[in-house]
């Protein structure tokens, strides 16, 4: 992959390719205010820069990590305001990151509970002599028909 220099300009297809997403996704992020609108060429093509590529990569990583579009927008807008977060912005970003860390902790707790339940079911299946454990049979039984 060739690096994007500060002076180079990318059309939307090349930006999408380098960022590992679709052209449709780039347009979606633009319309939602997550990706800044680029200048256009005289013929109307969007011309993206290295900054757009970095922003799109941040959006994609944040999305993969489960951040909502609203939270991603907040991060992008504030980080795009300058190279370093100012004194006014820092508390807001710290709070946002702390909230996200708390949510991640809760998800990890829930995953731990699910893991324990699945491990217990796996042990029951392993120990069963031919028949499935009752816990699984309930899921496999079709619901009773209701009369109209």
Contact 4, 53 (CB under 8 A): yes
Q: Are 35 and 26 in contact (CB under 8 A)?
A: yes
Q: pTM for the full model?
A: 0.60
CB-based burial, 113-145: b 16+ in 10 Å, e otherwise: eeeeeeeeeeeeeeeeeeeeeeeeeeeeeeeee
Alpha carbons within 13 angstroms on the beta-carbon side of residue 14 total: 15
- φ/ψ region of 44 (left if φ > 0, alpha if ψ in -120 to 50, else beta) reads left
What pLDDT digit, counting tens, does each position of 61-82 carry?
A: 888 878 888 888 888 877 765 5
Tokens of 96: 């946002």
Averaged confidence pLDDT in the chain: 82
pLDDT in tens, the chain (148 residues): 445 444 579 999 999 999 999 999 999 999 998 998 899 999 999 999 999 999 999 899 888 878 888 888 888 877 765 555 566 677 877 888 888 889 889 999 999 999 999 999 888 888 877 777 666 666 655 666 776 6
Task: Give the model's pLDDT for residue 2.
Answer: 47
pLDDT at residue 28, as a whole number:
95
Cβ pair 93, 78 in contact under 8 A: yes
């Amino acid at each position: 992959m060739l690096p994007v220099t500060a002076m180079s300009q990318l059309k939307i297809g090349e930006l999408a390719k380098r960022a590992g997403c679709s052209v449709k996704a780039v347009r979606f992020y633009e319309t939602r205010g997550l990706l800044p609108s680029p200048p256009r060429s005289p013929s109307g093509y969007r011309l993206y820069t290295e900054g757009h590529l970095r922003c799109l990569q941040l959006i994609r990583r944040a999305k993969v990590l489960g951040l909502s579009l609203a939270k991603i927008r907040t991060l992008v807008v504030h980080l795009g305001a300058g190279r370093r977060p100012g004194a006014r912005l820092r508390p807001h970003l710290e709070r946002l990151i702390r909230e996200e860390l708390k949510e991640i902790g809760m998800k990890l707790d829930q995953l731990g509970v699910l893991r324990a339940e699945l491990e217990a079911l796996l042990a029951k299946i392993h120990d069963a002599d031919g028949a499935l454990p009752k816990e699984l049979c309930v899921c496999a039984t079709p619901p009773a028909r209701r009369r109209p």
